[in-house]
Amino acid sequence: MSDFRNQSPWGTPPGGGGSGNGGFRKGPTPPNIDEVISKLQSIINRFLGGNSVTINGIKKLLKNQSKNILTAIDIGSDKIVCFIAKIDEITREKRALRVVGSGYCQSKGIRNGKVIDQKEAEKSIRLALDKAEKDANIEINNVYVCISGDFLKSHVLKGSINIPERTIKQEHVAEVISITNNKYTPTNQKIIHIVPSNFFVDGTRNVTDPSGLVADKLGVELNYITSEINPLINIENIIKKMHLKIEGFIAKPYASGLACLQEHELDFGSVCIDIGCGTTSISIFFEGTIVYAKTINLGGWYITNDVALGLHTSFEHAEGIKNLYGNTIMGANDSEQYYEIPNDSENTIRSKFKLSNLVSIIKYRYEEILEKAEEVIEKSGYSEYAKRNIILTGGTAGLPGSIELAQRVFDANVRVGLPTKIGGLSGEISSPSFSSCSGVLIHCLKKSKKNHEAISIKSAEKIGKFFKNLMGQDF
């Protein structure tokens, strides 16, 4: 067995280590240790921005790296939600999100996703943000904003290029996307998302990655989600007053789908229907990406308003009655059950309502919402894929009997979608009404992951090159 004691890690010592016959074999010359330290200090200083490697400098670097914070604000018609999340490095390749602060409050000054009272809207957003910052013990400066409303539109644009070399390269993929994108000139619209939903290779659809394939023609189908400009400007003005920077807008249909759909549902084909208070967002996913999105101005508020009119009570009392006794499916004994309607006056005589009447009111409007969503799905051109998996989410999706009613309307399997893909969600904030805010964070993590990977690869290449120059090509 070889004995490595008294040997240099660089091989046989230069000028030492006899062969036993008086001869000497000079091994590789080790680098000067002072030069190694000096060069290491130099490269670290470039990252730290200082003149010397200090404990404080390293602490500063670590502190900056630990600031992997993302903040999402969901501006809904019923409530404003703010999540502050931290990106945790699970492994070198895997990153995960954990909510460290949350805040929500009743939404005022917002109707169907639009600002109708700037002062009231600002108060609501500030309150939700302050609660989240206090919960996380973090002061944030940048936010991502989730938006919803019928001012969101979905557009599909096709384009193609010839491949003279007959082998598709990455630059061809970039070229066809660029050429197709240049064709789109929206009027009074701001592009929120651009998603390549389909690649075509010589007429063959649904090619996931065309790079490396032999072909004469490459085509792409780009899905655009756009918004009217004015609603965004009104939100931007409020956020600017709060001395915050908007990093980006995220469409609610897209966010809700990211939060609730499992990987196989994203790939195989699914529709996510987020039934909020003022709006219902419909998003269709296929082969891992969103292919269609639309928002309609129908939601839980319309159900509550119907209950208020039908039972001759206030909107507030109707909301309470809906939440306590509401159902979308008629029970066998509902016609025999009576409940009192709260009375705002001092009149001791309280009116009653029959449970079957309440269920009839709720069922009629809920059915209308689902039927409108089905119309959207049928007109999208993706109904074949969408109806493979139907996921309901949003606050109104929690009404008893909603799944059974949806199964009847769509004649398909339906489930309730919950925001389960990020950590730190407990209690009420893990319910369907918080799906879209969670989805914003997931979208941001995806973007952050791409940037992180790009930076990591670039940094690794630079550091690897440095050490190769320092230690030799065998490093």
**Tens-digit pLDDT profile for residues 74-100:** 999 889 999 999 988 765 556 788 999
The SS3 assignment for 114 reads strand
**CATH number of domain containing 159:** 3.30.1490.110
Q: Confirm whether 192 is domain-assigned.
A: yes
Residue 370 shares a structural domain with residue 280:
yes
Confidence of residue 11 (pLDDT cuts 50, 70, 90): very low
Q: Confirm whether 52 is domain-assigned.
A: no
**CATH number of domain containing 372:** 3.30.420.40
Q: Which residues fall within 8 angstroms of residue 463, CB to CB, at 6 or more apart? A: 43
Residue 221 shares a structural domain with residue 284:
no
Contact between 259 and 421 under an 8 Å Cβ cutoff? The reply is yes
Confidence of residue 347 (pLDDT cuts 50, 70, 90): low
407 vs 187, residue with greater confidence: 407
Residue 214 shares a structural domain with residue 274:
no
Which of 206, 228, 250 is a domain's end point? 228
Residue 270 shares a structural domain with residue 326:
yes
Cβ atoms < 10 Å from Cβ of 32:
9
pLDDT value for 334 = 84
Residue 277 shares a structural domain with residue 392:
yes
Residue 301 shares a structural domain with residue 406:
yes
Q: Confirm whether 234 is domain-assigned.
A: no
Distance CA 368, CA 402 (A): 12
Residue 272 shares a structural domain with residue 394:
yes
pLDDT value for 118 = 94
Q: Confirm whether 196 is domain-assigned.
A: yes
Q: Which two tokens stand for residue 174?
A: 């970039």
Residue 411 shares a structural domain with residue 277:
yes
pLDDT value for 34 = 60
Examine the pLDDT at 28 and tell me if it is beyond 70.
no
Where is average pLDDT lowest: 50-54, 174-178, 245-249, 314-318?
50-54
Q: Confirm whether 26 is domain-assigned.
A: no
Q: Which two tokens stand for residue 130?
A: 């302050």
pLDDT value for 37 = 53
pLDDT value for 48 = 45
Q: Which among 8-12, 90-94, 207-211, 360-364 has the top mean pLDDT? A: 360-364
pLDDT value for 394 = 93
pLDDT value for 242 = 93
Q: What are phi and psi of 205, to 5 degrees?
A: -85, 170
Q: Is 79 left (phi over 0), alpha (psi -120 to 50) or beta?
A: beta
In DSSP notation, 281-346 reads: EEEEEETTEEEEEEEES-SHHHHHHHHHHHHT--HHHHHHHHHHH--SS--TTGGG-EEEPP-SSS
Q: Which among 44-48, 114-118, 187-191 has the top mean pLDDT? A: 114-118
The SS3 assignment for 5 reads coil
Q: What is the DSSP letter of 214?
A: B
Residue 214 shares a structural domain with residue 296:
no
Name the domain count of the chain.
Answer: 2
CA distance from start to end of the chain: 27
Q: Average pLDDT for residues 110-139, to the nearest whole number?
A: 94
Q: Average pLDDT for residues 149-155, to the nearest whole number?
A: 89
Residue 220 shares a structural domain with residue 275:
no
Q: Confirm whether 390 is domain-assigned.
A: yes
User: Which residue, chain included where needed, has tokens 């200082």?
Assistant: 50
271 vs 5, residue with greater confidence: 271
Which of 384, 417, 450 is a domain's end point? 417
User: Which residue, chain included where needed, has tokens 């029959």?
Assistant: 354
pLDDT value for 461 = 45
Residue 174 shares a structural domain with residue 312:
no
Q: What is the DSSP letter of 166?
A: S
Confidence of residue 463 (pLDDT cuts 50, 70, 90): very low
pLDDT value for 70 = 93
Residue 375 shares a structural domain with residue 267:
yes
Q: Which two tokens stand for residue 330?
A: 């008629």
pLDDT value for 200 = 87
- Nearest CA-CA partner of 34 in 26, 23, 42, 25: 42
Q: Confirm whether 296 is domain-assigned.
A: yes
Q: Which two tokens stand for residue 336?
A: 């025999």
Segments forming the whole domain that contains residue 318: 262-417
pLDDT value for 373 = 96
The SS3 assignment for 195 reads strand
Which of 376, 393, 417 is a domain's end point? 417
Q: Average pLDDT for residues 350-362, to the nearest whole number?
A: 91
Distance CA 131, CA 121 (A): 16
- Helices (H), ranges, 49-112: 55-65
Q: Confirm whether 472 is domain-assigned.
A: no
Distance CA 289, CA 272 (A): 12
pLDDT in tens, 178-191: 888 888 877 888 99
Q: Average pLDDT for residues 451-460, to the nearest whole number?
A: 41
Distance CA 71, CA 251 (A): 15
Which own/partner contact pairs does 34-40 have at CB distance under 8 Å and 24+ positions apart? 36/470, 39/466, 39/470
Q: Average pLDDT for residues 442-465, to the nearest whole number?
A: 55
